[in-house]
Structure 1
Amino acid sequence: MARRPSPSPAPGGSGSWRREPSTEVRRTGRMPVVGDGSPVVLAESEGVTAPLEWEPHAHEYHELVWITGGTLTTRVGDRVFTVSEGAALWLPAGQVHSGRLTAGSEFFDAFFEPERTPVRFDEPTAIVLSPVLASLLEYLQRTDLDAGARARAEAVVFDVLETSERPLVLRVPGDPRIDPIAEALLADPADGRGLEEWSRALGVSERTITRAFRSTTGLSFVQWKQSLRVHLALSLLAEGHDVQTTSELLGYAQSSTFIEAFRRVMGTTPGAYPHAAS
C-alpha cells in the first residue's frame, strides 16, 4: 500500500491535514494595504510552489478566497471547508480561520471594506466562482483603474455574488466523547479503526459514538469518515496522485470503494475531477 512521507502533525485546531516537511507556515494571512480613499474591493493573487499553511488568524476586512490548479482547505471553528476550482469561500471580517493550500496552486483573495460592502454574509459562506465573477476580480487586481471604472466593476461584483447550493463542508463534532476520533482522523484519514475498536479505546459504547456523531454532525461515523476522506482526496488529486494511489493513501482496500464514496459526495467520479492524474 502506498504511503505518504511521514510529516509532522499540524498544530491542534489548525485546520490542516498532516503537515509535510516542505510546508511553508505563515502565522497570519495577507492583509490589504489600505488608506484614505482606498477601494472597496482589493484583489490580489500569489503562486505557490510548496504546500502553504496559515495558522489561525482574522482580518478586519471581509475576505473572499479561491484557487486554481489545486485545493484550499480551511478550518473555521467546528467546520472544515475544502475549496476547489469553480468555488470560493467568503470569510466575514473578524472570523478566525486557518488553512492549507496544495503545492503548485495559484491563490487568489479579495478584501471587502465592511462599511462599504452592500452584501452581507454573517457566516463563512461558499460562493459560486462564475466566469463573470472571476474575470471581474482579476480586473480589479489592476492598479491603473480610475475611480469610475473601479466603482462600476465593484458594483457588478456585488450583483453576481451567488451562494453555492453544494458547499463542501464538514462539521467537526465538538463533543468530548468523540473528539479524539475526529482529531485522529483529521491527522490521518487512513486510520482504519472501526466502531468496536474506538469503543474499547475510549471506554464508551458503540451506540454512544454513533449517536454522538449523528447529533453533532448530522452524519453517521462511517459517513463522516467517508466525507473527510473525500476532502483530502481533492488535495491528493490536485497534487498529481492518480486514483489508485489516492485510494491507497486514504486507507481503502479497493479503489472501487473509494470511487463510489467520492461519487456519493461530489456527484462525479475522482477520475473526472479536473486534476486527477491519468
Structure 2
Amino acid sequence: MVRSSCGEAMPGMWRREAGTVVRGAPALSERGTGPFAISAGFRIPHVPTEWTPHAHPLHELVWVRGGTLTSRVGDHIFTVFEGNGLWMPAGVVHSGRATAGAEFHDALFAPDRTPIAFGEPKAIAMTPLLESLLAHLSRTDLDPPARARAESVVFDVIQPSARQFALQLPGDPRIDVIAEALLDDPADGRSLEEWARLLETSERTITRAFRQTTGLSFAQWRQMLRVHRALMLLSEGFDVMTVSETLGYAQPSSFIAAFRRVMGTTPGAFFAAADAAS
C-alpha cells in the first residue's frame, strides 16, 4: 500500500501531490447520453485532481491536452498523454488522477447503441479527425440527423493506439514491497542485491518473480515506471534536468537514454511531436 505525502494509503498509485483534490465518481457518470449513442464534453481541473475507485454504467473515452491522466485499473496503471486516449468499458472499476490545468475531455458511449467492442481498457489513437468529431458532438444545438451522422463516423474511425502504454503491477507478495516503494519514490536506487538482503531472499527469486508477473526484469520494470512518472512531470512543465534528478538519474543524459529506450524517442522530440499534432 503506497502512502501519500499526507499519510493516506493509496493502492498502487503515485504519491499524492500537495494540494490534490480527492473526489468520488465524477459527475460525468450521471450525465448519460440521452436518446443518442455519444455524449461528449470537457473540463479543466485547476488543481491536481484524484478520483477514487468507481465504475460507470456507460463506456467512457477520456483524453487530455496540456497534461496527463493516470488511471489505475486492477493491476495496471495507464498513463494518458496527448495524442492518446483511454477507453474504459462500462462497469470496469478504476481510479484516476489528472494533473493541474490539463484539459480533461471525455465521451460517454451507450453500450446498447455502440457497435464497437473493446472489452478491456485500451489506449485509443486520438487523431485530429476523431477529436474534431467528438468536439462536434459536444454541441447542444445539433439536430438528431446531424448527430447520428457524426456518431456513425466516430464508430468508423475510432481505433486502438499502436502503443498500449500500461505499467503491469506485480501483485506478488514476494516483490510487492519493492513495487510499492518505487511507486512512492521512483528515485529509490536500491539495487537488486540490496533488495534481496532487505527481504531476506535471493536476487534470483526477485528476478524470477518480476519476470513471471510483469514480463520484465527488475531493472526494466523500474525503468518503465520512471518513464510513466516522467511523462507526468514533463507535461507539467518541469525541465529535463529537474525530472532527471527527481527520478534518481545521475545525469540528464542517462534519463534521456532511458526515455528513448522505452518511448523510442527523446523527451524533447516526443513532446514536440505531441505539440505539432495538437
Bin of the TM-score, shorter chain as denominator length: over 0.9
TM-score for the superposition, normalised by structure 1: 0.93
1:3 corresponds to: none
Matches within 5 A, 1:111-260: 111-260=108-257
Q: Distance in 2 between matches of 1:126 and 1:10?
A: 29
**Residues 10, 54 of structure 1: CA spacing in aligned structure 2 closer, same or farther, 3 A cutoff?**
farther
Per-residue Cα deviation, 1:64-98 (whole angstroms, up to 9, x for no partner): 00000011111100111111000001000000111
1:107 aligns with 2:104: yes
What secondary structure, in the 3-state scheme, does the structure 2 residue paired with 1:21 have? coil
Q: Contact between 2:40 and 2:108, CA under 8 Å: does it hold in 1? A: yes
Q: Tell me, in whole angstroms, the C-alpha distance in 1 between the residues paired with 2:56 and 2:89.
A: 8
Q: Number of residue pairs matched?
A: 269
What displacement does 1:196 show?
1.2
| 2:88 alignment partner in structure 1 | 91
Cα deviation code 1:125-160 (max 9, x no counterpart)? 111000000000001100111111111101100000
1:186 deviates by: 1.0
The match for 1:34 is 32
Does residue 11 (structure 1) correspond to residue 2 (structure 2)? The answer is no
State the distance in 2 between where 1:47 and 1:89 align. Answer: 17
CA distance in 2, matches of 1:66, 1:11: 27
CA distance in 2 between counterparts of 1:162 and 1:145 reads 25
- For 1:53, the aligned partner's letter is E
8 Å CA contact retained: 1:237, 1:243: yes
Cα-to-partner distance string for 1:188-216 (whole Å, 9 max, x where unaligned): 11111111111122121110000110111
Q: Does 1:48 align with 2:17?
A: no
Asked if the contact 1:24/1:51 (under 8 Å) is kept, the reply is yes
Q: 1:197 to 1:212 in 2, by over 3 A?
A: same
- 1:12 partner letter: M
Aligned-pair CA distance for 1:7? 3.0
Instruction: Output the aligned Cα RMSD.
Output: 1.6
What code does the residue aligned with 1:41 have? I
SS in 2 for 1:139: helix
For structure 2, the 5+ residue unaligned runs are: none
User: TM-score scaled by structure 2?
Assistant: 0.93
> Contact between 1:40 and 1:112, CA under 8 Å: does it hold in 2?
yes
Aligned to 1:66: 63
Letter in 1 for 2:9: P
Shift of 1:32: 3.9
d(CA) in 1 for partners of 2:25 and 2:101?
A: 21
Bigger helix fraction = 2
| Structure-2 separation of matches of 1:109 and 1:195 | 41
- 1:20 shift after superposition: 1.4
Distance (Å, rounded) in 2 between the aligned partners of 1:180 and 1:8: 20
CA distance in 2, matches of 1:268, 1:34: 39
Q: Percent identity?
A: 63
Q: Does 1:24 align with 2:21?
A: yes
Partner of 2:267: 270
Structure 1 regions of 5+ residues with no counterpart?
1-5
